[in-house]
Amino acid sequence: MLESLIVRYLGDTDSSLATWLLEDEREEVRIRIQPEVVYSWDYSDRMS
């Protein structure tokens, strides 16, 4: 899972960040969050 995310966002696993993230052996867990309610605010009037 981590390796596929690194490839997706960094392009490959050749960077020092990718190496650092992948060097430890760990168990990976995938979590999916399903929001029940989503709130948003429009600050465009205040920001103009």
One-letter amino acid identity for 41?
W
Output the pTM of the full model.
0.56
**pLDDT attached to residue 25:** 86
Rounded Cα gap, residues 18 and 13, in angstroms = 5
Q: Is residue 7 part of a domain?
A: yes
**pLDDT attached to residue 39:** 95
- Residue 33, CB half-sphere, CA atoms under 13 Å: how many? 3
Q: Give the SS3 label for residue 6.
A: helix
Q: Is residue 18 part of a domain?
A: yes
**pLDDT attached to residue 32:** 95
**pLDDT attached to residue 36:** 97
Q: Is residue 1 part of a domain?
A: yes
Q: Is residue 11 part of a domain?
A: yes
Each residue's pLDDT, cut to its tens digit, for the chain (48 residues) gives 899 999 999 999 999 999 999 998 889 899 999 999 999 999 998 888
Q: Is residue 23 part of a domain?
A: yes
Q: Is residue 19 part of a domain?
A: yes
Q: Residue 18: which of 27, 30, 6 has the closest Cα? A: 6
Q: Which domain holds residue 17?
A: 1-33
Overall number of domains in the chain: 1
